[in-house]
Amino acid sequence: MDAPRAAWRTTTHDWASTVDLDHLEHIRQNPAGFAPGGIRHLILEVVAYAADEAQCNSGGHCRITLHPDGSVAVADDGRGTDTRLDEHGQVVKKPVMATKDLRFFDHPDTPPLPDKHPRRGMSTVAALSAWLVHTNRRRNGSWTQRYEHGVPTTDLEPIADNRTTGTIVHFLPDERLRTASSTTADELTQLTAPWTHLSVCVDDRRTT
């Protein structure tokens, strides 16, 4: 068994907290502030984590899929979201979706994303999405979990190991964000170009 969660070293997120409802509500109350530019900014918030992984691993690949229903899937080939066992032998994943990223969220000088707006973290995407499905593949197991406006609606559900690692974040932004702005494959390709260590492919499946 591992040590209690409260004793785990905090890095990007606080392991002791699984869902921060006040934090998620704060984001939902200010969609213009946390998703300037709408869906385009949310996509960049997700791709930024793939870029982090690529930088750690001396390179990586990411696929952005724009679906006809307005949802977006971002898949990468990184190590997958950190997952551990607590003192009771229960599987615990780093709470990246439902709690604040401590590196960025409350810092006025947080680094900007390629759209020139501040990076706040993955929780902004989860909070401002009608639903989000997080699929995670790591060497120590694979699972999927669903969220609605940042709140988990399922437990970690095991999936078959296919001998790969990485994450897929598939989300449907709130309708007001989908209708307030749009983006194209060319725009996303240009915006993600500064992440030179990350190879990005955009698959636009929307009807034209």
Cβ contact 80:165 at 8 Å:
yes
Kindly report whether the global pTM for this prediction surpasses the value 0.75.
yes
Condensed to tens digits (0 to 9), the pLDDT of residues 122-178 reads 999 999 999 999 999 998 889 999 999 999 999 999 999 888 999 999 999 999 888
Residue type, 171: F
Region for residue 80 given its phi and psi (left: phi exceeds 0; alpha: psi -120 to 50; beta: otherwise): left
The whole-angstrom separation of Cα 18 and Cα 97 is: 9
